[in-house]
């Protein structure tokens, strides 16, 4: 079982990413793909990243 989660929500072009658990270097490609898809959204305005539950 993975020791992490990445939760995503969007409303009116504002994206929220919530990271939970251990966030490590091996997530770089996952994060890169996620950021690429977010920035391709024509309604994109900003990203908020919540790190309050990371280790």
Query: What confidence tens digit (pLDDT) does each residue in 39-54 have?
Result: 999 999 999 999 999 9
pTM: 0.83
DSSP, residue by residue, 1-55 = --SEEEEEEEETTEEEEEEEE---GGGHHHHHHHHHHHHT-TT--EEEEEEEEE-
2-35 tens-digit pLDDT = 788 999 999 999 999 999 999 888 888 989 999 9
Domain ranges of the chain: 4-54
User: What's the confidence (pLDDT) of residue 32?
Assistant: 93
Distance between CA 39 and CA 44 in Å, rounded?
6
Fold held by 4-54: GMP Synthetase; Chain A, domain 3 (3.30.300)
């Amino acid at each position: 079982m993975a020791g992490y989660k990445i939760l995503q929500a969007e409303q009116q072009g504002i994206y929220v990413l919530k990271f939970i658990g251990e966030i490590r270097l091996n997530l770089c490609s996952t994060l890169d793909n996620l950021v690429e898809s977010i920035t391709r959204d024509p309604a994109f305005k900003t990203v908020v990243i919540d790190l309050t539950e990371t280790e």
